[in-house]
C-alpha cells in the first residue's frame, strides 16, 4: 500500500483514499487499474459519498432512540442543545484535536442552512484541507494507545516513534478500514524505522512487547486494545472477577511464540520484528508447546487456542502455520473487535464509554447501554469497518449535541459520582495535553507558520514530554502529569507558548485583532473571545476589557494582552464543554 | 491608574483581597498587613510545630525483592547469595545495607505482609490506597488522605501539602484535584515559576480571571469547572512563597549531599527532609528499577542497594538528630515482593503472598521485626498483615482517628484505611 501512497502523493486525492477497503483486497499488480476504474466511478466526489449514505439519518435516529429510552426509564429530561459556537468548538476538538480558528467558527455560526452540522462534519472528515490534521489527531491518539506516551523515548527501546506515527498517519489519511488496520498491527513483520529497506511502521506496536517475559506484554496489549479483554492478571492465576482462566491466557500467549524482535547490529541499523519457527518448550516443533505453572505448583501445557475455543494447528513451523496471521484473522472476524472499537470511539466523543474501563468488556462488566453498543457494533461491521462513518453517526447524534449545562432533572447524571452515564448532558472534560498544544498553536496564531512537518512534530514532542511520568516497572507503565494540577496551571500562567501568545507580536491573535480595520473596540474583544472560547464577550466581560484599557493607559495592545491571558487561563478554555 | 480602576480591581470576585496581596504585593504599601498576618502565625507556630505530624513514603517502583533485603533466607536453596548482618536493632538485614543497619534501632520491619495483587498497576494502587481497584470509586492515595487530614494543623503552609519527588504517585480520587500530588524532579525544579510581569498586573489579571471562571462555574456544568478555580488559587499561593526554597536541595553543603548520595533518590530524600522541616505533611520519594525479572543479584548489589543504603540511612539519622523523627513516619515499600524462587534468568518474579515493608518514627515501636515467614520464604507463619493494616498503622501513628469516615463520590461512607486494625506489635 505504500507504493500506492507514493504514486499519488500524500493527501492528494481524497477520492482515491476512500477506496482503502477495496484496495486492500486487490493484488499488487491490479492496483493501478483499480484506481483508474475508481476515477470513473459515480460515487467518487466526497459530496456524493456522504449524501448518498441514506443510512446516515436512520443510524442517527436509532442512536437517539436508544439513548432516549434510558432517559425515559430514569425519568431524566436531557439538557438543551449546545449553542452553535459550543458545538463547533467541541467537534473541532474531538475530530481534529484543536479549537476552531475564528474564520472557521464564523463560517459555521453564520451559515443559515438546515444541515450545516452535517456539512461541517463532512468537511472535517473528508475535505482535503483537513486530511492532514485529521490524520495527525488520530495518529496521536493511537500512538499513545499502542506504544504509550513515552514509547520510543527510553534508552534501549526498539520502538521508533516516527515509524509508528508514519504507519498511523498513512492509515488514517488513506482511510484504511479498521479490520485491515488491526490485521496489520497484529501480524506485522519488518523493520521499525522509516527509511529502512523493509520498513513497516506497524511493527512498532509489538517490537518492545514480544521478547520479555515470554511475550506477556504482547498478549496483554493485543487482548486489551483490540478485544477488550483484560488478561494480564491471568498470567499467574485465574481471574478473580471474570471468567478468564489462566489456561486461556497461555493459549492466547502461544500465538506470539514464533515472534522475536532483534535490535540492529549497529546503532544505525533498524530493529526488526520477525517470525521464526517455534521449537516448543519440550523441543517438538510439530506440536510446539509451552508450559505454565498453576498456583499450586503444577505444570500445565498450552497450545494456541483463540478465546472462543477455536484451535489452530500446533506446528511451530512458520511456513506451515503462521500463528500471528491466524490470530489476526480470528480477531478481526470476532465480535470482540467491533465492540471495543465502538466503545472506544463513543468514549472519545462523549467522555465516557458504555463500560468503565472502556477496554474491559464482558459479562462481569455490564454496559450502560447494551442495545446501543450492540447496534453500533453491528452497523460498524456492516459499514465495512468504516471508522469515519462510525464517527459521523456519533457526532451527529442528539446526545453529542447537548449542552454541558445541566438542568434540575439531570444534574445527578454525573459519572464522576460513580453512576453509569446516561448521556443526558455533555460531560465536561479536560483537554488532553495534545489538544491543548494544538489549540495553543491556533491561539498563538502560528498555525500558518512555515516550518517543516518534522520540525513541527519535534517541537510538539518536546513540549509533550514534560508531562510524561513512568513508574519504573518492566512493563513500562506510565501516567501523565497533565491532570489539572498546579504544574499545569503554572504552565498556562507562564509557559513559553503563553508568553508567545500574549506577546502581541506579528501574526498573533492580538495582532490580528488590532490590524483588522473592521474590528474596532468591542469587536476586537469579541474576536479574542471567539478565538479562545468560541463565543462573544458578555457585557460584564466587555466592561472588564474597558477596565484593562484604562489600567494600561489606553494602550489597546497592552489591554488585549491581559484579556488574552485571562481567556487562555480560564476553565472555559481548558475544558471541552 | 485612576481611583475607579483601583476599586474595580481591588474588589475581587470570590477571593479575598488579603489573600492576593499577602502573596503578590511584594514590597508595596500592603506588605505591612501581610507582615502582621505573618506575625500572627509566628506566635502560634511553636505550639503547632510541637504537634506537627508528617510522613515520608519511600516508594520502590517495580516491586522490591524483600527476601534479599529485609527477610533473608540464607539456608533456603532459593535464598540467594546475600548474607544477613547484625544491626543495632533487634533483627538482621542484608549485608549490602550496612549503613541502614546502623539505623535499625529507629526502624522496624513488618515481615508478614501478605497481599493478593501481583500486577504492577493493581498492586501500586492497592498499596497506595488500601483498596483494590474498583470501577465505581476512585480511592485517594496515602499522600492525599494524610495531607487532607493534617493540613489543618499548619495554616502557614503555602506550598502543596502532598509532594511527590521523581515519580507520579497515585491520585487524590474522590478527595478532588486539590489533594493531588505535586510532582517535582529530584533537583527541585518547578517549571514556570517566574511570571515576568509586575505583581500588580498579575493581580489584576487574576481577578479578571476569577470573574470569567465563576461565570462558568455558576452554569452548573459539573465539578471540573470549580476544581480548576481551586487549583488556580493554590497556584497563586505557591507563587512568591518563600517556602519554595525547601525545594532547593542544592543549597545544602556538599558533604550533606554526599551523605545522601549524589543521585536522584539521594537528592529526593534530602528534599523530603527539607520539606518536612518546612511543614509539608506528606512527601513521597520514588526509587524505581526493582522489577528484576533478570540478573537480580548484581543489580541489587551494584546499583539499587548502595543507593538505598546511603539515602535511607542519612534521612533516618537526620530526622532523628533534628528531633523530627518522633513526629515523622517513614514508610518503605513497593507494590509487592518477589518470588522466593529464582527463575531461569537469575531473576525473581512478582510475589505478593509473603513479603516485607519497613516503617519507623512517629511513635511506632523501633528496632523490631514484626511477624515471620516460613523457612523458604514462600508463606507467612502465623498472623499476616495487608495494605489496609499498614495504612491504619501509619494513620494511628500520626494521630489520625481510625474512625475517620469520608464520603465517596457516589455518596458512600468510606472508612479510612478500609476500617482495618493497625499492626498491634508496633504500638505495644
Q: What was the pLDDT predicted at A244?
A: 63
- Scanning A494-533 for CB atoms below 8 A from B yields 494-495, 499
Q: Is A275 helix (H, G, I), strand (E, B) or coil?
A: strand
- List all residues 6 or more positions away from B244 whose beta carbon is below 8 Å from its beta carbon: B159, B190, B193, B238
CB B150 within 8 A of CB B410: no
Q: What was the pLDDT predicted at B40?
A: 42
Region of poorest pLDDT, from A180-184, B11-15, B81-85: B11-15
Q: Name the CATH code of domain A433-576 (choices 1.10.3130, 1.25.10, 3.30.730, 2.40.33).
A: 1.10.3130
Q: Nearest Cα to B281, choosing from B328, B234, B330?
A: B328
pLDDT of A472 > 80? The answer is no
CB A415 within 8 A of CB A421: yes
**E strand or H helix at A576, and its extent?**
strand A575-576
Q: Nearest Cα to B386, choosing from B418, B412, B340?
A: B418
Yes or no, beta carbons of A571 and B217 under 8 Å apart: yes
CB contact, 8 Å: A561 with chain B?
Answer: no
The string of pLDDT tens digits covering residues A18-48 is 333 333 333 333 444 444 344 334 344 444 4
CB A562 within 8 A of CB B206: no
Residue B374, CB-side half-sphere exposure with 13 Å CA sphere: 10
Between B4, B204, B227, which is nearest A484 by CB?
A: B227
Q: What residue of B is the nearest CA neighbor of A82?
A: B221
Between B191, B228, B350, which is nearest A487 by CB?
A: B191
Yes or no, beta carbons of B135 and A357 under 8 Å apart: yes
CB contact, 8 Å: B208 with chain A?
Answer: yes
Chain A hits for B238, CB-CB cut-off 8 Å, are 486
pLDDT of A274 > 50? The answer is yes
A370-382 and A336-350 helices, crossing angle to 10°: 110
Q: Where are the domains of chain A?
A: 1-44, 45-126+335-430, 157-333, 433-576
- Scanning A358-387 for CB atoms below 8 A from B yields 365
Q: What was the pLDDT predicted at B49?
A: 55
Cα(B171)–Cα(B31) distance, rounded to whole angstroms?
36
The string of pLDDT tens digits covering residues A306-315 is 999 999 999 9
- Scanning A445-484 for CB atoms below 8 A from B yields 466, 469-475, 477, 479, 481, 483-484
Best mutation target, B224, B378, B412, to test chain A (most A CBs within 10 A): B224
The string of pLDDT tens digits covering residues B199-222 is 889 999 999 999 999 999 999 888
Torsion of CA A452, A457, A459, A462, to 10 degrees: -160
Q: Nearest Cα to A411, choosing from A428, A430, A397, A431?
A: A428
pLDDT of B31 > 70? The answer is no
Which position has the higher pLDDT, A317 or A485? A317
Yes or no, beta carbons of A485 and B231 under 8 Å apart: yes
The share of chain B scoring above pLDDT 90, in percent, equals: 67
Yes or no, beta carbons of A472 and B291 under 8 Å apart: yes
Cα(B250)–Cα(B267) distance, rounded to whole angstroms?
9
Rounded to the nearest angstrom, the gap between the alpha carbon of residue A51 and the centroid of all alpha carbons in its chain is: 25
Q: What was the pLDDT predicted at A35?
A: 40
Q: Considering chain A, what is the average pLDDT of its residues?
A: 85
Q: How many CB pairs under 8 A join A and B?
A: 189
CA angle in degrees (0–180, nearest 5) for A71-A76-A82: 90
- Scanning B162-191 for CB atoms below 8 A from A yields 167-168, 171, 177, 180-183, 190-191
pLDDT of B41 > 60? The answer is no
CB contact, 8 Å: B286 with chain A?
Answer: yes
Region of poorest pLDDT, from A15-24, A330-339, A409-418, B181-190: A15-24
ipTM of this model?
A: 0.83
Task: Spell out a b/e string for A158-169, using b for 16 or more CB atoms within 10 Å of the CB, else e.
Answer: bbbbbbbbbbbb
**Sorting pLDDT into bands at 50, 70 and 90, what band is A466?**
confident
Region of poorest pLDDT, from A170-179, A229-238, A564-573, B187-196: A229-238
Q: What residue of A is the nearest CA neighbor of B8?
A: A547
Q: What was the pLDDT predicted at A7?
A: 32
Tell me how close the Cα of A353 comes to any Cα of chain B, in angstroms.
12
Yes or no, beta carbons of A428 and B208 under 8 Å apart: no
Between A471, A491, A551, which is nearest B192 by CB?
A: A491
Tell me how close the Cα of B371 comes to any Cα of chain A, in angstroms.
24
**Sorting pLDDT into bands at 50, 70 and 90, what band is A61?**
very high
Phi first, then psi, for residue B156 (nearest 5°) are: -80, -5
Yes or no, beta carbons of A570 and B195 under 8 Å apart: no
Strands B369-370 and B405-407: unpaired
pLDDT of A424 > 90? The answer is yes
Yes or no, beta carbons of B222 and A563 under 8 Å apart: no
The string of pLDDT tens digits covering residues A483-519 is 677 888 888 998 888 888 898 888 889 999 999 999 9
Q: What was the pLDDT predicted at A236?
A: 60
**A478 bridge partner residues:** A470
Map out the domains of chain B with their CATH numbers: 1-36+194-238 (no CATH), 53-193+245-395 (3.40.720)
Q: What was the pLDDT predicted at A29?
A: 38
CB contact, 8 Å: B121 with chain A?
Answer: yes
Chain A hits for B288, CB-CB cut-off 8 Å, are 470-473
The share of chain B scoring above pLDDT 70, in percent, equals: 88
Q: What residue of B is the nearest CA neighbor of A497?
A: B192
Chain B hits for A431, CB-CB cut-off 8 Å, are none
Q: What was the pLDDT predicted at A448?
A: 54
Q: What was the pLDDT predicted at A1?
A: 35
pLDDT of B32 > 60? The answer is no
Q: What string of H, E and C letters represents the secondary structure of chain B?
A: CCHHHHHHHHCCCCCCHHHHHHHHCCCCCCHHHHHHHHHHHHHHHHHHHHCCCEEEEEEECCCCCHHHHCCCCCCCCCCCCCCEEECCCCCEEECCCHHHHCCCCCEEEEEEECCCCCCHHHHHHHHHHCCCCCCCCCCCCHHHHHHHHHHHHCCCCCCCCEEEECCCCCCCHHHCHHHCCEEECCCCCCCCCCCCCCHHHHHHHHHHHHHHHHHHHHCCCCHHHHHHHHHHHHHHHHCCCHHHHHHCHHHCCHHHHHHHCCCHHHHHHHHHHHHHHHCCCEEEEEECCCCCCCCHHHHHHHHHHHHHHHHHHHHHHHHHHCCCHHHEEEEEEECCEECCCCCCCCCCCEECCCEEEEEECCCCCCCCEECEECCCCCCEECCCECHHHHHHHHHHHCCCCCCCEEECCCCCEEEHHHHCCCCHHHHC
Between A481, A541, A550, which is nearest B183 by CB?
A: A481
CB B334 within 8 A of CB B371: no
- Scanning A397-426 for CB atoms below 8 A from B yields 404-406, 411, 414, 416-419
pLDDT of B16 > 60? The answer is no
Q: Considering chain B, what is the average pLDDT of its residues?
A: 87
Q: What residue of B is the nearest CA neighbor of A529?
A: B212
The share of chain A scoring above pLDDT 70, in percent, equals: 84
Cα(A299)–Cα(B233) distance, rounded to whole angstroms?
58
CB A497 within 8 A of CB A503: no
Cα(A183)–Cα(A172) distance, rounded to whole angstroms?
15
Q: What residue of A is the nearest CA neighbor of B196?
A: A494
Yes or no, beta carbons of B235 and A489 under 8 Å apart: yes
Yes or no, beta carbons of A404 and B221 under 8 Å apart: yes
CB atoms within 10 A of CB B47: 9
**Sorting pLDDT into bands at 50, 70 and 90, what band is B7?**
very low
Q: What is the DSSP string of A118-168?
A: HHHHHHHHH-HHHHHHHHHHHHHHHHHHHHTTTTTTSTT----HHHHHHHH
Cα(B93)–Cα(B68) distance, rounded to whole angstroms?
9
Q: Nearest Cα to A433, choosing from A392, A511, A491, A496?
A: A491
- List all residues 6 or more positions away from A529 whose beta carbon is below 8 Å from its beta carbon: A535, A536, A537, A541, A567
CB contact, 8 Å: A548 with chain B?
Answer: yes
Yes or no, beta carbons of A572 and B213 under 8 Å apart: yes
Region of poorest pLDDT, from A543-552, B31-40, B282-291: B31-40
Which position has the higher pLDDT, B25 or A278? A278
CB atoms within 10 A of CB A36: 9
Q: What residue of A is the nearest CA neighbor of B344?
A: A213
Best mutation target, B23, B184, B228, to test chain A (most A CBs within 10 A): B228
pLDDT of B292 > 70? The answer is yes
pLDDT of B265 > 50? The answer is yes
CB A175 within 8 A of CB A258: no
Region of poorest pLDDT, from A241-250, B222-231, B341-350, B354-363: A241-250
Q: What residue of B is the nearest CA neighbor of A540?
A: B211
Yes or no, beta carbons of B205 and A470 under 8 Å apart: no
Phi first, then psi, for residue A33 (nearest 5°) are: -65, -40
Which position has the higher pLDDT, B321 or A3? B321
Q: Nearest Cα to B373, choosing from B22, B53, B110, B42?
A: B110
**B165 bridge partner residues:** B184, B285
Cα(A87)–Cα(A402) distance, rounded to whole angstroms?
8
Q: What residue of B is the nearest CA neighbor of A558?
A: B201
Chain A hits for B196, CB-CB cut-off 8 Å, are 494, 499
Chain B hits for A430, CB-CB cut-off 8 Å, are 224
Yes or no, beta carbons of A571 and B135 under 8 Å apart: no
- Scanning A326-365 for CB atoms below 8 A from B yields 356-357, 365
Cα(B209)–Cα(A533) distance, rounded to whole angstroms?
14
Q: What was the pLDDT predicted at A233?
A: 60
Yes or no, beta carbons of A471 and B61 under 8 Å apart: yes
pLDDT of B29 > 80? The answer is no
**Sorting pLDDT into bands at 50, 70 and 90, what band is A231?**
confident
The string of pLDDT tens digits covering residues B368-419 is 999 999 999 999 999 999 999 999 999 999 999 999 999 887 778 999 999 9
- List all residues 6 or more positions away from A284 whose beta carbon is below 8 Å from its beta carbon: none
Yes or no, beta carbons of A471 and B411 under 8 Å apart: no
Cα(B164)–Cα(B185) distance, rounded to whole angstroms?
8
Between A472, A493, A547, which is nearest B192 by CB?
A: A493
Span A281-293, average pLDDT:
91
Cα(A57)–Cα(A55) distance, rounded to whole angstroms?
6
Length of chain B measured in residues: 428
Span B332-360, average pLDDT:
95
CB atoms within 10 A of CB B132: 17
Span A54-76, average pLDDT:
94
Tell me how close the Cα of B406 comes to any Cα of chain A, in angstroms.
14
Chain A hits for B137, CB-CB cut-off 8 Å, are 418
Cα(A322)–Cα(A343) distance, rounded to whole angstroms?
30
- List all residues 6 or more positions away from A181 whose beta carbon is below 8 Å from its beta carbon: A171
Hey, which of A282-296, A430-444, B64-78 has the most confident mean pLDDT? B64-78
Rounded to the nearest angstrom, the gap between the alpha carbon of residue B95 and the centroid of all alpha carbons in its chain is: 28
Q: What was the pLDDT predicted at B121?
A: 87
CB B8 within 8 A of CB A547: yes
Between B118, B180, B286, which is nearest A472 by CB?
A: B286
Q: What string of H, E and C letters represents the secondary structure of A172-212?
A: HHCCCCHHHHHHHHHHCCEECCCCCCCECHHHHHCCCCCCH
Chain B hits for A567, CB-CB cut-off 8 Å, are 212
Between B180, B224, B232, which is nearest A429 by CB?
A: B224
Amino acid at each position: 500500500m505504500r507504493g500506492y501512497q507514493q504514486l499519488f502523493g500524500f493527501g492528494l486525492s481524497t477520492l482515491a483514499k476512500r477506496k482503502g477497503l477495496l484496495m486492500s483486497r486487490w493484488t499488487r499488480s491490479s492496483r493501478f487499474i483499480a484506481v483508474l476504474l475508481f476515477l470513473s466511478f459515480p460515487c467518487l466526489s466526497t459530496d456524493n459519498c456522504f449524501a448518498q449514505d441514506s443510512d446516515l439519518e436512520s443510524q442517527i435516529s436509532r442512536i437517539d432512540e436508544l439513548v432516549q429510552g434510558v432517559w425515559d426509564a430514569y425519568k431524566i429530561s436531557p439538557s438543551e442543545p449546545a449553542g452553535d459556537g459550543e458545538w463547533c468548538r467541541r467537534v473541532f476538538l474531538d475530530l481534529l484535536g484543536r479549537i476552531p480558528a475564528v474564520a472557521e467558527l464564523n463560517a459555521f455560526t453564520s451559515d443559515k442552512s438546515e444541515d450545516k452540522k452535517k456539512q461541517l462534519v463532512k468537511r472535517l472528515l473528508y475535505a482535503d484541507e483537513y486530511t492532514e490534521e485529521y490524520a495527525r489527531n488520530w495518529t496521536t491518539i493511537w500512538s499513545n494507545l499502542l506504544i504509550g506516551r513515552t514509547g520510543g523515548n527510553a534508552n534501549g527501546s526498539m520502538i521508533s516513534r516516527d515509524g509508528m506515527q508514519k504507519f498511523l498517519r498513512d492509515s488514517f489519511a488513506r482511510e484504511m478500514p479498521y479490520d485491515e488496520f488491526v490485521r496489520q498491527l497484529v501480524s506485522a513483520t519488518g523493520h521499525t524505522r522509516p527509511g529502512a529497506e523493509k520498513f513497516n511502521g506497524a511493527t512498532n506496536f509489538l517490537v518492545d512487547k514480544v521478547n520479555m517475559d515470554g511475550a506477556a506484554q504482547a498478549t496483554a496489549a493485543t487482548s486489551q486494545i483490540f478485544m477488550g479483554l483484560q488478561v494480564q492478571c491471568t498470567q499467574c492465576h485465574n481471574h478473580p472477577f471474570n471468567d478468564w482462566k489462566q489456561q486461556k491466557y497461555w493459549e492466547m500467549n502461544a500465538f506470539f511464540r514464533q515472534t522475536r524482535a532483534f535490535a540492529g547490529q549497529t546503532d544505525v541499523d533498524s530493529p526488526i520484528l520477525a517470525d521464526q519457527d517455534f521449537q516448543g518448550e519440550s523441543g517438538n516443533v510439530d506440536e510446539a508447546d509451552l508450559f505454565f505453572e498453576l498456583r499450586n505448583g503444577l505444570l500445565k501445557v498450552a497450545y494456541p487456542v483463540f478465546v472462543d475455543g477455536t484451535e489452530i494447528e500446533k506446528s511451530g513451523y512458520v511456513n506451515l502455520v503462521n500463528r500471528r496471521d491466524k490470530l489476526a484473522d480470528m480477531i478481526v472476524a470476532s465480535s470482540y473487535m467491533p465492540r471495543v472499537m465502538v466503545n472506544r470511539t463513543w468514549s472519545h466523543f462523549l467522555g465516557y464509554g458504555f463500560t468503565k474501563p472502556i477496554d474491559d468488556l464482558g459479562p462481569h462488566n455490564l454496559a450502560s447501554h447494551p442495545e446501543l453498543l450492540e447496534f453500533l457494533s453491528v452497523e460498524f461491521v456492516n459499514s465495512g469497518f468504516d471508522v469515519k462513518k462510525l464517527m459521523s453517526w456519533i457526532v451527529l447524534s442528539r446526545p453529542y449535541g447537548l449542552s454541558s449545562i445541566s438542568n434540575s432533572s439531570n444534574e445527578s447524571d454525573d459519572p464522576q459520582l460513580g453512576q453509569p452515564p446516561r448521556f443526558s448532558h455533555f460531560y465536561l472534560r479536560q483537554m488532553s495535553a495534545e489538544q491543548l498544544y494544538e489549540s495553543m498553536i491556533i491561539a498563538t496564531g502560528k498555525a500558518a507558520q512555515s516550518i517543516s512537518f518534522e520540525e513541527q512534530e519535534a517541537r510538539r514532542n518536546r513540549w509533550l514530554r514534560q508531562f510524561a511520568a513512568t513508574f519504573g516497572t518492566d512493563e513500562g507503565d506510565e501516567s501523565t502529569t497533565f491532570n489539572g494540577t498546579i504544574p499545569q496551571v503554572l504552565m498556562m500562567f507562564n509557559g513559553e507558548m503563553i508568553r508567545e501568545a500574549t506577546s502581541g507580536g506579528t501574526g498573533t491573535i492580538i495582532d490580528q485583532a488590532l490590524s483588522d480595520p473592521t474590528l474596532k473596540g468591542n469587536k476586537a474583544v469579541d474576536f479574542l473571545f471567539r478565538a479562545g472560547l468560541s463565543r462573544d464577550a458578555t457585557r460584564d466581560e466587555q466592561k472588564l476589557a474597558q477596565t484593562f484599557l484604562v489600567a494600561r493607559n489606553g494602550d489597546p495592545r497592552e489591554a488585549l494582552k491581559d484579556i488574552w491571558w485571562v481567556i487562555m487561563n480560564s476553565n472555559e478554555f481548558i475544558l471541552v464543554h | 491608574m485612576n481611583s475607579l480602576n483601583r476599586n474595580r480591581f481591588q474588589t475581587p470576585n470570590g477571593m479575598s483581597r488579603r489573600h492576593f496581596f499577602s502573596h503578590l504585593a511584594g514590597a508595596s504599601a500592603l506588605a505591612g498587613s501581610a507582615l502582621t498576618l505573618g506575625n500572627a502565625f509566628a506566635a502560634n507556630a511553636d505550639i503547632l510545630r510541637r504537634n506537627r505530624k508528617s510522613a515520608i513514603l519511600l516508594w520502590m517502583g517495580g516491586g522490591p525483592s524483600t527476601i534479599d533485603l529485609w527477610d533473608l533466607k540464607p539456608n533456603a536453596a532459593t535464598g540467594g547469595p546475600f548474607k544477613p548482618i547484625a544491626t543495632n536493632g533487634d533483627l538482621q538485614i542484608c549485608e549490602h545495607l550496612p549503613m541502614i543497619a546502623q539505623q535499625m534501632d529507629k526502624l522496624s520491619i513488618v515481615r508478614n505482609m501478605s497481599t493478593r495483587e501481583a500486577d504492577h498497576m493493581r498492586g501500586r494502587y492497592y498499596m497506595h490506597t488500601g483498596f483494590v481497584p474498583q470501577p465505581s470509586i476512585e480511592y485517594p492515595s496515602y499522600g492525599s488522605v494524610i495531607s487532607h487530614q493534617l493540613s489543618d494543623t499548619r495554616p502557614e503552609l503555602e506550598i502543596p501539602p502532598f509532594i511527590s519527588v521523581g515519580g507520579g504517585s497515585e491520585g487524590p480520587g474522590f478527595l478532588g484535584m486539590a489533594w493531588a500530588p505535586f510532582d517535582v524532579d529530584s533537583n527541585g525544579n518547578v517549571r514556570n515559576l517566574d511570571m515576568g510581569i509586575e505583581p500588580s498586573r498579575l493581580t489584576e489579571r487574576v481577578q479578571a480571571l476569577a470573574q470569567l471562571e465563576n461565570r462558568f462555574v455558576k452554569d452548573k456544568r459539573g465539578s471540573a469547572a470549580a476544581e480548576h478555580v481551586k487549583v488556580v488559587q493554590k497556584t497563586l499561593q505557591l507563587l512568591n512563597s518563600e517556602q519554595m526554597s525547601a525545594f532547593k536541595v542544592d543549597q545544602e553543603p556538599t558533604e550533606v549531599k554526599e551523605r545522601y548520595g549524589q543521585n536522584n533518590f539521594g537528592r529526593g530524600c534530602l528534599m523530603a527532609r527539607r520539606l518536612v522541616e518546612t511543614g509539608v505533611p506528606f512527601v513521597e520519594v520514588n526509587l524505581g528499577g526493582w522489577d528484576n525479572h533478570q540478573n537480580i543479584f548484581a543489580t541489587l548489589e551494584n546499583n539499587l542497594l548502595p543507593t538505598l543504603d546511603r539515602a535511607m540511612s542519612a534521612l533516618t539519622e537526620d530526622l532523628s538528630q533534628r528531633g523530627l523523627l518522633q513526629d515523622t513516619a517513614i514508610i518503605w515499600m513497593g507494590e509487592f515482593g518477589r518470588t522466593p524462587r529464582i527463575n531461569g534468568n537469575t531473576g525473581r518474579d512478582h510475589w505478593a503472598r509473603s513479603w516485607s515493608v519497613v516503617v519507623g518514627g512517629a511513635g511506632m515501636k523501633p528496632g523490631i521485626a514484626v511477624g515471620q515467614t516460613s523457612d523458604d520464604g514462600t508463606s507467612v507463619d502465623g498472623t499476616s498483615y495487608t495494605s489496609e493494616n499498614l495504612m491504619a498503622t501509619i494513620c494511628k501513628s500520626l494521630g489520625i482517628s481510625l474512625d475517620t469516615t469520608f464520603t465517596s463520590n457516589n455518596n458512600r461512607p468510606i472508612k479510612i484505611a478500609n476500617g482495618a486494625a493497625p499492626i498491634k506489635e508496633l504500638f505495644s
